[in-house]
Amino acid sequence: MSEKIFDKMNVILVKIEKDDLMSFLVDKDITNSSCRECRTKELIDAVVRTIPEYVFAQYENPEIPQNDAIDKIREAANHLHSVEKFVKSETNREHSGDFGELLLHLLLRDFKGTIPLVSKVYFKDSNNISPHGFDAVHISPEEKILWLGESKFYTEDKRGLSALISDLDEHINKDYLNQQFLIIKKNVESNSIPRRDEWIKILTDCSKLEDKINLINIPMLCTYEHDIYTKFDNLDTREAIEYHESNIFELKSYFDSKNTHKLRDKLNIVLFLFPINNKKEIVNAYTDRLRHLQQI
């Protein structure tokens, strides 16, 4: 991979990388008191950097004039769910939408070399209403791959995986994909994505369910709490690596055993597993940053 776009401080560690599975960890660093802790601030920084591109997509105003930069950042932040609703959702539910979707955007861009085909906000009906459709719509321009992604951020790993499987059942079927391809094509027609006409033709010609399935990769991100960060001071030791791999391969087996989708043998699913130390800490830090960006 070339230089990272968003994770400029290399805070996200790739630990397992296979065709159908990737796992990540948050790096650690020593503090002034010589203990090691997760680089949570740097992770939030990396995720927050994605907000303007996530909202407007790469091809819209890639070079923002200096005197407009603050206005565009504030506008991008306000396109996301309001902080008040975000905090309320964290109180009443275990998932947190925006952060997980931004993280998926980052992982696809930095580790899979994709670019966004259309912005997620194109699917948004109105303020404070969750956008319909996939959590990520990206492309690999050279390989002609359409990435249609889903993301879940849960405290408990298997609940997150179960929710992803439910999304798979709901979204990967003929009617839903036909609807989504029409929406995506409509928005591609009005943007300036590189090779726009070529992608319009690809989406137009892709009329059969089989054609759509052959065109798409399905990245599915599950972010969840795990105790590896408290058990191991150094994540690169043999013991830490084995502990991480045991967790990841157990979850992959769980996902595969629960995935009873009738087309599962034809789907190109890439499971992204991202254990983190403390969900509440990350949610609070992200919420504070989002509130600040909305008010600058």
Per cent of the chain over pLDDT 70 is 84
Dist CA 53 CA 62 (whole Å): 9
Residues in the chain: 296
Query: What is the distance of C-alpha 142 from the center of its chain?
Result: 21
Q: What does the pLDDT read at residue 294?
A: 81
pLDDT over 70 (residue 139): yes
State how far the Cα of 103 lies from the Cα of 149, in Å rounded to an integer: 11
Confidence of residue 113 (pLDDT cuts 50, 70, 90): very high
Determine the pLDDT at residue 64. Answer: 55
The mean pLDDT value of the chain amounts to 86
- At residue 75, the pLDDT reads 72
As a whole number, mean pLDDT of residues 99-124 equals 87
| 49-75 residue pLDDT tens | 998 888 876 544 555 555 556 677 777
Looking at per-residue confidence, does 122 or 261 come out higher? 261
Q: Which two tokens stand for residue 264?
A: 């599962």
The pLDDT score that the predictor gives to residue 195 is 79
Q: Which residues pair with 147 in a beta bridge?
A: 138, 217
The answer to whether residue 208 scores a pLDDT higher than 50 is yes
Q: How many CB atoms lie within 10 A of CB 71?
A: 12
Identify residue 233 by its one-letter amino acid code: D
